[in-house]
Chains A and B, each alone.
Chain A
């Protein structure tokens, strides 16, 4: 029994999460750089292409100032998740060449180990794991030990695996995995009792967690087959009985428990789980085996006629499945599968829409789902989806670039049209004239202040009165020495005094108002000059908003076209791969069905032969309970080969 599938799933789930502070503990780490957070936003939606682009753009712009280390680790992990193993390895190695903190180095070594493990470079993975210091968080340390143990199990170095897993302490899930793998390693080294103890512990787990429930099922299934192989059918049946009836392993468990009872001589009882299997999906090998196991046991019960009926029924069902498979093969060969696998949404970056898509009737859906469950097929499909998305990206840019070119043309035209107005001397001369007039006003104000020129501060009425008074004064001067004018001179002095006093009394506010006005004028003038300077500067800079872009666009357009051609070429090849894998899986299923069909027919022939040799031959049918002496049992003396309890292979997977 291997844990590869579920561990691979777990590993995929954890890919990348390892690198992000707080993720997995329910408290997202604080984002200190917006581009880093933006990449996380896409990453959390499985949009790896966008998440990688975010980090690459940020790297180019230098906009990640605080979390560069985290961002590099995330990028390495995203590369890995996106299938860019080479880029991921290069990045991790580059990080390690730098002087990084021990905690960062440990995480990088861990990810490098995971990468090497995925690549099948187990020795290199072990080396990387051994470089890890003491700075991994506890949950990662638990994963590190399990990964190391898995490698040793794959390398059949069971003692080393045992050494790594012994005295394991971690959270419940990792501890259960460790115990399972330890059990497997112990069994492999011949320490059966100890190994079975470990597996029994996992098989007795009291949990609601679906992942642990799945692990518990696996442990019990492994135990069931191990006990069966050790000719301990009672213990075997107990183990199989602990597997959930509706879980993904229930079919195998039902098949197994049937054999466990069969081996105990409880023949009729063994038919009960197989009858349950019989009504389940006939695509499952366990169900197919049950179709043979049922008549085999009925024959053991000495009811050859009934056995014959059941073998005939099994043959009919196998033939029906084979017909469906042949139809499926035809549909796949005619490109039906590839058409169905094309993304529903062109911009579907995560590739999810395929799994939500409605498959055409010609593609027998259950078979396709079985196909999609295989790792090779999923991996090929993922590459195919990625190529489709790359094509979408390239087509989109190819469509945008001419728009950019048009925009540049418009921008350039607008610039050239407005350039003369902006660069002409008229504006500059007008502003200079305003400045000159302002300076004259400022000088006049300074003079007024220095000379205390009250007249300059008089308003229009006051100025008129002052003019009148000045005229009067001149006239009075002509009458100098005339005593009759004395009264008029007194009145002149009075009026002049009053008027001067009025202006003098208001001198300070009037000067303040004038200065304030000048200040406002200064401000307005400065703003005008600044705007003019800014305008000139903007227009001097304007060519930068369109110069050089033409070459960049041309260059990128050529790159797009080259890459599009390569995407198309590889997409065609990948389509062939997907079809080849689909057909290979169909072949496998067909071969298995054919093999079962041969056995069923052989058994039918044998029973016919047995019935024919019986004396006297039964009139039409033999009653279900009638004994038929001398009926042959399968040549191996065992249950039908495929239906024989499979040995628990007990290999610890990833």
Chain B
């Protein structure tokens, strides 16, 4: 009995390398197929994004608002609200991960929509923790003259070391 078990074990051990090799080849082939598929889905996703944008946000009315944080030592962003012509169009609560991504230099697309040509008032309200970890709420606004071209606004949260206060500005990208 013991001999048979030992023999069985030996055969199993001898068989293992071959099986492992075969399955390694098979796995490599599968990985390759997954790799190709991922790239194809990415290509499709890009095309669908372009389609969606062309369809929902045509260039002549497209209007986007981005948000970035520079330094971020004097203000920790918790949430933001965005109003266009006094109408709330976007609100976002930030996770720790999102806040960290902003502090590291990422730029968030807060809003994309359509806006008719002409003047519009954009107001953003920021809440979070300011210097000394105190609750902090500030707003910034800008009046834009929407043209027939896509328009982009960047809301920037900066540190003003001279005043030891955060600074909130809205930049219109040309």
Residues of chain A having any CB pair with chain B under 8 Å:
20, 22-23, 28-31, 34, 36-38, 40-45, 49, 52-53, 56-57, 60-61, 82-87, 380, 383, 386-387, 390, 393-394, 397, 400, 404, 407-408, 545, 549, 552-553, 556, 559-560, 563, 566-567, 570, 573-574, 577, 580
Contact = CB atoms under 8 A, between A and B. Distances in A.
The 7 A-B pairs at the shortest CB distance, nearest first, are namely A28-B105, A37-B107, A41-B106, A44-B101, A56-B46, A40-B106, A390-B41
B38 A386 contact: yes
A42 B106 contact: yes
Interface string B21-39: 0010001001101111111
A394 B38 contact: no
B50 interface: yes
B46 A570 contact: no
Nearest to B64: A34
A23 B39 contact: no
B34 A556 contact: no
B30 A52 contact: no
B105 A45 contact: no
A387 B41 CA distance: 10
A38 B66 contact: yes
B48 A38 contact: no
Nearest to A580: B23
A397 B152 CA distance: 26
Given A53-B46, A60-B46, 10 more contacts: A28-B103, A28-B104, A34-B109, A38-B108, A41-B106, A61-B50, A83-B35, A87-B39, A549-B51, A570-B33
B68 A37 contact: yes
A552 B50 CA distance: 11
A380 B34 CA distance: 11
A34 B39 CA distance: 24
A563 B37 contact: yes
Contact of A567 (B41, B49, B105, B154): B41
Contacts of A23: 104-105
A28 B55 CA distance: 35
A394 to B, nearest CB: 7
B51 A37 contact: no
Contact of A57 (B49, B100, B108): B49
A563 B45 CA distance: 11
A537 B163 CA distance: 52
Nearest to A549: B55
A582 B38 CA distance: 24
B145 to A, nearest CB: 16
A517 B108 CA distance: 50
A631 to B, nearest CB: 23
Contacts of A393: 41, 45
Contact of B34 (A53, A387, A559): A387
Given A40-B106, A44-B100, A53-B46, A574 B30 contact: yes
B128 interface: no
Contacts of A559: 44, 47
A567 B37 contact: yes
Contacts of B31: 83, 383
10 contacts: A23-B105, A37-B106, A56-B46, A57-B49, A83-B34, A380-B27, A386-B38, A393-B41, A545-B58, A553-B51
A393 B68 CA distance: 27
Nearest to B29: A573
Contacts of A22: 105
Nearest to B30: A573
Contacts of A53: 42, 45-46, 49
Contacts of B23: 580
A31 B106 CA distance: 8
A87 B43 CA distance: 12
Contacts of B41: 390, 393-394, 563, 567
